[in-house]
Amino acid sequence: MRLMIVFEPKEYVKYLDIDKYDVQGFIYSLLKNSSLFNNLHDIVGFKFFNFSNIFPISDFEKNTLKKLIISSPNHDFIRSLYDELNKISTFRLNKYKMEILKIKVLRNKKSSKFISSTPIVLFEDNENNRYYSFKQNPNFDFFFNRLKDNAIKKYNAFYDDDFELESDLFSGFELVREVSVRVKKDGNSFIIIGSLWKNLEFELTNQNKDFYNFLFDNGLGEKNSLGFGFLNSGK
């Protein structure tokens, strides 16, 4: 399930002056009065939500529209955000004021192809927080096997299930490029390495449709709640 916020900046802001932690913080601030999700920030483990880049990707200017999509396989999570957003007319990203123009719940469309709208992130070495890089280790089997294991683990954790996917995660794929994203937290700046993809193809069946619907709303790879691995339909 997805929620789109259409908003208008009240002042000029450079696009890179608002990063993923600012958007994540805004989402958590909306949940602080929620009886279901007010402690989500403090939970260790999967958060089961994701968000897009703010688009269009350009500097924030007065009287220009910006959009943000928040997604989650948890419908109560999206409904809670929707209810809280309807109580306010403005919000802040970082210190910058935005005016809400429209809030819309989006319904998922059936698709057998994904495109990654934000970079898919995986750890090559979890203990040392080393991200997987195709430039350092161009191994598609390693990448997709780890991506599949991560996806199944999250699905089973969310549904308390023991689902197994017998096939490859994707029957076709096209790597667009590897990217490095700079984020800031508590005054510190650091780099997260990920990759962008298109034509992530799969055969949708009655047995796997819930799994792929979950992936569409939760995202792929690590750091989904920081806006990584956000997926759109590949048509």
Domain segments of the chain as ranges: 2-106, 113-233
Q: How far apart are CA 198 and CA 232, in angstroms?
A: 10
To the query of whether residue 28 is one of the catalytic residues in this protein, the response is yes
- Of 12, 15, 21, 28, catalytic: 28
Q: What is the pLDDT of residue 234?
A: 85
Q: pLDDT of 76-132, one tens digit each? A: 999 999 999 999 999 999 999 999 999 999 988 888 999 999 999 999 987 778 999
- 113-233 and 2-106 share a CATH fold: yes
Q: How many CB atoms lie within 10 A of CB 233?
A: 13
Strands 113-116 and 188-201: antiparallel
Q: What is the pLDDT of residue 87?
A: 96
Q: What is the pLDDT of residue 213?
A: 96
Q: What is the pLDDT of residue 13?
A: 97
Provide the pLDDT confidence category of residue 44 given band limits of 50, 70 and 90: confident
CATH label, 113-233, candidates 3.40.50.300, 3.30.70.1900, 3.40.50.10440, 3.40.50.1100: 3.30.70.1900
User: Is the confidence at residue 134, as pLDDT, over 90?
Assistant: yes
Q: Alpha helices of the chain — where are they, by DSSP H?
A: 20-30, 75-85, 140-159, 209-218
Q: Are 23 and 68 in contact (CB under 8 A)?
A: yes
Q: Are 37 and 80 in contact (CB under 8 A)?
A: yes
Give the predicted TM-score (pTM) of the model: 0.95
To the query of whether residue 159 is one of the catalytic residues in this protein, the response is no
Q: What is the pLDDT of residue 107?
A: 86
Q: pLDDT of 158-201, one tens digit each? A: 999 999 999 999 999 999 999 999 998 888 889 999 999 999 99
2-106 topology per CATH = Alpha-Beta Plaits (3.30.70)
Q: What is the pLDDT of residue 109?
A: 81
- Of 12, 15, 21, 41, catalytic: 41
* Chain mean pLDDT for the chain: 95
